[in-house]
Each structure stands twice: as C-alpha cells, then as structure tokens.
Amino acid sequence: MHDLVIRNGTVVDGTGRPPVEGDVAIDNGVVAAVGDVAARGRREIDAKGLLVAPGWVDVHTHYDGQVTWDPLLAPSSWHGVTTLVMGNCGVGFAPVRRGQEDFLIELMEGVEDIPGTALHEGIDWRWESFPEYMDALARMPRVLDVAAQVPHCAIRAYVLGERAHDLDLTDDEIAEMSRLTTEALRAGAVGFSTSRTILHRSRHGLVPGTHSKPEELLGIGRALGNAGHGVFEMVSDLQGQEPDLSWMSEFCRATGRVLTFALAQSPMQPTAWRETLARIDALAAEGLRIVPQVPCRPTGMLFGLQSSLHPFITHPAYRDELARLPLVERVARMRNPEMRARLLAEEPSTNNPIARALMSNWNHIYPLGDPPDYKPAPETSVAAAAKREGRRPEEVVYDWMLERDGRQLLFAPLANYVDGNFDALREMMLHPRTVIGLSDGGAHCGLICDASMPTYLLTHWVRDRKRGERIPLEQAVRLQTGNTAAVYGLPDRGTLEVGKKGDVNVIDLDALRLHAPEMVFDLPAGGRRLVQHVDGYRATVVSGEVTFENGEATGARPGALVRGRQQAS
C-alpha cells in the first residue's frame, strides 16, 4: 500500500513530455510510481479531469524575514509553490554582528518595500553566522521547502562594519568575504546574491556592493567555484549590456558557475533584450552558463489608496489631512466635493522626477479590475478615458481610486509591455537560456503582488491568451518546475518521476481564477502587504503530505530547509 495515490489525472510531469492520463503514487515523501498504479493508497485523491503537475519551484523571492515567523509563506503557498529560493538581490539577514540588525532591516525595507516595523517585531535574531541562520530555519515548521542564498550586503556589513559602502578593499577583506561565502555554501546556501542597480536604495543611499569592483566579485565567486555548487544571482541596471556582460562572462570563465540576472524589455531600450540574448547564446557556445530571469507578465506597480504610491499621495491636502485616516473615513472625506476640488487643484509636492513621472504617466496607467487584467488595451488607460469623457486625467484617476470603497487598484506596467502586447515577453520566456523568475514573493508589500505568477502562467499563457500564440501546457509546466529546479542545482525535485520528491499540484485548469490583489494588515506590528487569492488548486502536496485542499490549509507542516544540492532535511 502506498502513502498517497493521486488517481486518474492528466499528468504533466515537468520534463516537457506531453500530458498522459494516469496515477501518481508517493511513499515516504518520494514519487514511487507514475502511470497505472494498481496498489491502493492510505489516502487517495481523485484527479479525474484535473491537472497533476510537480509543485512549482520559485527561484526569486524575498521571504528572508517572513520565513522566521510565518509557516504558511503566503501568498506563494496559495499558488502551488512548494520550493522557493530567497536571499535574492543582495539583501538578507545573515551573517550579522550584534548591533547591525537595524542596518540590515533598513536595507531590506528600502530595497524590497517590506515594513521595517514588521521585521523589527517579527525577527528574533537567534543567529550570527550564516550556518547558524540556516540551523534556525531548519528548526522552524512550514508548509513548503525553502532554500537560501548568502547576501552581499550582509557579508559586506559583517566584514567592513561602518565601511560597508567602501569600494577600495584590501586583499584580506576580499579573502574574508570569500571565506564567509564558502562557510555559507558548506552550510547549504544555494548561491550568492548582489545588487548593481541604482534603484536599490535605503536611507543610507545605494546599498553596499552596488559598485563593487570586479576583483571583489571574482574573489567571492571563486568560493562558488571551489565549492563546485551555488548560483551567482544579481540585478543590474544594464541587464546584460556592456560593460556588465564582459565581467559577467569573465566571472563565469573564472568560476565555472551559473550566473543569473534579471532581464526585461525596457521602454528606454525596447530591443536591447534581444541583443543580450544573442550575446548569451554566443557565450553558451563557449560553455558559459549565464541565465537571464524573466517574468511571465509585465513588471509594474499597483497604485491605490492603501498602496505605497498613488497619484495624490504627495498632494499637501492628502498628505496632511487624509493619509493617516482609516480607509473608510478617508474615502468619505475624498467623496466630499470640497475636498475633491482642493486635491484636484493642487500640484504634487514631491521633487523626485521619477516619482512624478510614474504617477502621471496617464497613457500607461490602467484600472486593474477583478479579475485582474495584466494585458490592458490602450483604450482602457487613464488618458484614453479622460479624452473620451472630456475630463482631466486627474479627475478620472481620482474617481477610479474611490471605486470598490477605495480598494480599487490601478496597474502601471513599467517593463515587458512596451509594444502593448506580450510578444517580446513570450520570446524571452521561451528562449532556451532563460528561466522564469522575478515573482518577488514576500517583497514590495505596498506596490507589487507578483507571487501569483505561477498561476498566471497557466491561466493566461496556457488557457486564455487571445492576442497572440499560447504556450503548450507541458512547456508551461516545465518552465516553472524542471527548468527552475535545474538552474539552482536541485535535481531531487521539479519533475514527477520515480525517486523524485513528492511535491505535487492538483489543479482544475478550467476553474483556475486569480482574484484582484488586496491589502491586508497581518504582518507583525500590523504591517501591511498585498496578497492575491486564487481558486482552482484542488490540492497541493509537499513531501507526500497534503498542505492545501481546495484553497484551505490542512495544518500539515512538511516543509523543510533545502541545503545546497541535498534533499530537504
């Protein structure tokens, strides 16, 4: 008798092979049989008419703080994620010297828009070294598996102290960073991460390591090379353009390791991504493994009255009289004709040109709606509605934000939607060198909610897309299971094959539906975050245990810490 048998489903195994009708049996947390399973199971799930796929492996999240207090790690777990990788973009919480905790929290808050008050309240700092951090994570029960990377900012702060932002380092300081990275890899870190974008800032300015010299990064990279495992993850303004690509290729030659970075179609250089991929193809012919991470929908911001940004947030009347009011009272005041007239007559008080541009780019701000529309048509923009109605754009957006009792969200795509379609995005997603990533689960709590991307890959790309080609089901599943697991050297998961980890999603593809994101205030100290619910996941299984059933948590906590290439322990 098997521990669990999932019967009569449409099995899409994560390898890219076509779907087959059959069963999946799991024993001791591992897939024991796939196909026609005669033996009964202690528990059985009838999957007739349902999709049976591996659990999703999300390689770009920021649950580094939340993982220390929240066993559910929602919303990712609601969307079928059974393994996640955190510690991305160079920010995280280990190693840490006593007295540096506030500095690391400020970096995470500045870069990833996670409330500092929640991090202060929620993290108990039962570690100093990265191995101690890993041991602390291993002791905590949770619904899914987590893997961690060692962050550059924390390493720099630990070695350099108040000089964490310095660029000129001694050989001994670089050697110490390399030693700490080696220590982290031996403890099970799956990689090292850094940030090289001027968009990542805290109140101290650019984050440590933004302009680190190649010799520092190569010194750290040799730790990965000597260990023989571990990914080098980075985010950069240049997105694989020069001069970054030259040192990235030198890094890979010197270390033999995988380097992954965020790639998007930029409005400023709308075809640069294609040039980058062509260069990476040429480097792959030399045996270098450079893997761009691409999302499966436009990267953008969600503006609303509860968000971190919206078009009136810096108007004096809003800032001074409304911003701190409860939402119900704020909406009531904004519906008052006198207040409406005042706000519409005022100018934003911010001197930040980027913020002003983002919040008044009326041709590229749209109502998100419910169900959410991430592929808005030009005629639905604020500018188009204003022209159609003979009103100012500010009037249109003001009224839209008051819909749904002030909970309406506006979508402002920033990348991957330059042409008003998903054609470039599809080409990037299906390129043989790329991997699906950048969900940023756990981060950007007041502006972005992309942890639902694994679901969107099915609802849009497999089922609903009308303006352009779809992606075959078996290919879409492989993109976020077998592919993502392989990049991070996790060969024990990502496919439904005998001997692989028993992580499974059972999905009603016809009923799969995303709800609009909503703001909740359930972080420690009442901190806010955007979450997004979903219908259609009939069961999620981790290590053979059902963790979610029809969208409800079962109370099972089989999730574990993934240490390097080893199986979860």
Domain ranges of the chain: 56-298+417-514, 302-415
Residue length of the chain: 569
- Looking at residue 289, its pLDDT comes to 98
The first and second tokens of residue 243, run together, are 């001069």
Which residues have a Cβ under 8 Å from the Cβ of 338 and sit 6 or more positions away?
none
- Output the pLDDT for position 569: 40
CB 211 within 8 A of CB 167: yes
> How far is Cα 437 from Cα 356, in angstroms, rounded to an integer?
29
| DSSP category for residue 204 | T
- Alpha helices (runs of H) in 213-364, residue ranges in sequence order: 214-227, 244-255, 272-284, 316-317, 327-334, 337-345, 353-358
Q: Which residues are 372's β-sheet partners?
A: none
pLDDT in tens, the chain (569 residues): 999 999 999 999 999 999 999 999 999 999 999 999 999 999 999 999 999 999 999 999 999 999 999 999 999 999 999 999 999 999 999 999 999 999 999 999 999 999 999 999 999 999 999 999 999 999 999 999 999 999 999 999 999 999 999 999 999 999 999 999 999 999 999 999 999 988 888 888 899 999 999 999 999 999 999 999 999 999 988 766 678 888 999 999 999 999 999 999 999 899 999 999 999 999 999 999 999 999 999 999 999 999 999 999 999 999 999 999 999 999 999 999 999 999 999 999 887 887 888 889 999 999 999 999 999 999 999 999 999 999 999 999 999 999 999 999 999 999 999 999 999 999 999 999 999 999 999 999 999 999 999 999 999 999 999 989 999 999 999 999 999 999 999 999 999 999 999 999 999 999 999 999 999 999 999 999 999 999 999 999 999 999 999 999 999 999 999 998 654 44
The backbone torsions φ and ψ at residue 436, rounded to the nearest 5 degrees and listed phi first, read -70, 130
Q: What is the pLDDT of residue 568?
A: 45
Cis link prior to 353 (omega < 30° from 0)?
no
Strands 290-294 vs 435-436: parallel, antiparallel or unpaired: parallel
For domain 56-298+417-514, which CATH number applies: 3.40.50.10210, 3.20.20.140, 3.40.720.10, 1.20.1260.10? Answer: 3.20.20.140
Q: What is the pLDDT of residue 567?
A: 47
pLDDT at 356: 81
CA dist., res. 421 & res. 418, Å (int): 8
Nearest to 528 by CA among 371, 327, 312: 327
Tokens of 401: 């934000």
Predicted TM-score of the model (pTM): 0.96
Nearest alpha carbon to residue 25 among 9, 159, 398? 9
Structure tokens at 342: 């005042």
Cross-strand partners of 542? 545
Give the Cβ contact number of residue 265 at 10 Å.
Answer: 24
List the structure tokens of 36: 């026609």
Kindly write down the DSSP assignment for every residue of 466-507, as one continuous string. -SS----HHHHHHHTTHHHHHHTT-TTSSS--TTSB--EEEE
- The two three-digit tokens of residue 440, written as one number: 């940023």
State residue 240's pLDDT score: 60
Q: Supply the pLDDT for residue 478.
A: 99
**C-alpha dist (Å) from residue 147 to 191, 230, 519:** 9, 11, 27
CB atoms within 10 A of CB 40: 12
b/e sequence 152-176, b meaning 16+ C-beta within 10 Å: bbbbbbbbbeeebbeeebeeebbbb
